[in-house]
Amino acid sequence: MLVVKGAPEEIIQHCTYFETDEKNIQKIDAKALEKIRSVYSSLEMKGFRVLGIAWREENIEHTHAVVSDETELTLSGFAAFLDPPKESAKSALSALNDIGLSVDSAVDFAKEAADMILLNHDLRVLYDGVIEGRRTFGNIMKYIMKGTSSNFGNIFSIAGAALFLPFLPMLPTQILLNNFL
């Protein structure tokens, strides 16, 4: 037997049949599809995370399942997991809104930040990350501005001195080395 689980909409796309409450197997038609979707939508509206579960009979010799096997499945039902929002979610969303991030942009930001491992599973981590990122960006901009202004003064004074001296007062490598000191 091949058993498949996943997002309800994805599982339904691979199903040709469904199991009734009486364990009868029927073909999925438009009316049944509408009823199936209403069942998992109502579970999602109640705050549950929903997984679709489907199966198909396979020979006992079939020991290695591949994606192409996930066809003509029978929808068995749904597994619903209660996953309420954390108590800190409201204050974290409010704080993110205060710094200019809406829920939509926070979701986009979280997807891009998914390469990082968040040890603390809390939306407040996004807020702290944005604040730290903005502070770092500000510090980098300050450093660039200070470096540019000091280099401009150095170059201006060296260019002026070069007009009157028969040699270069500082070589370009010496100017770059001066930035490190």
pLDDT in tens, 63-115: 777 777 788 899 999 999 987 777 777 787 788 778 776 666 555 555 565 55
Query: How many structural domains does the chain have?
Result: 2
Instruction: Please tell me whether residues 53 and 29 are part of one structural domain.
Output: yes
Instruction: Please tell me whether residues 69 and 107 are part of one structural domain.
Output: no
Q: Residue 161: give the domain boundaries.
A: 86-181
Instruction: Please tell me whether residues 71 and 102 are part of one structural domain.
Output: no
CB 58 within 8 A of CB 2: yes
Instruction: Please tell me whether residues 174 and 101 are part of one structural domain.
Output: yes
Instruction: Please tell me whether residues 105 and 66 are part of one structural domain.
Output: no
Helix, coil or strand: residue 6: strand
Residue 129 has pLDDT above 60, yes or no: yes
Domain stops at, among 54, 82, 110: 82
**Which is nearest to 106 in space by CA: 127, 87, 136?**
127
What is the spatial distance between Cα 44 and Cα 52, in angstroms, rounded to a whole number? 12
Instruction: Please tell me whether residues 69 and 151 are part of one structural domain.
Output: no
Instruction: Please tell me whether residues 77 and 25 are part of one structural domain.
Output: yes
User: What pLDDT is stored for residue 28 in this prediction?
Assistant: 92
Domain stops at, among 82, 103, 138: 82
Classify residue 85 by its DSSP letter. P
User: What pLDDT is stored for residue 104 in this prediction?
Assistant: 63
Q: What backbone torsions phi and psi does residue 42 show, to the nearest 5 degrees?
A: -65, -35
Residue 27: pLDDT band (50, 70, 90) is very high
Domain stops at, among 82, 99, 134: 82
Instruction: Please tell me whether residues 90 and 179 are part of one structural domain.
Output: yes
Phi and psi based region of residue 90 (left: phi greater than 0; alpha: psi -120 to 50; beta: remaining) = alpha
Name the helix (H) or strand (E) containing 111: helix 103-112
Instruction: Please tell me whether residues 96 and 173 are part of one structural domain.
Output: yes
> What CATH code is carried by the domain that includes residue 28?
3.40.1110.10
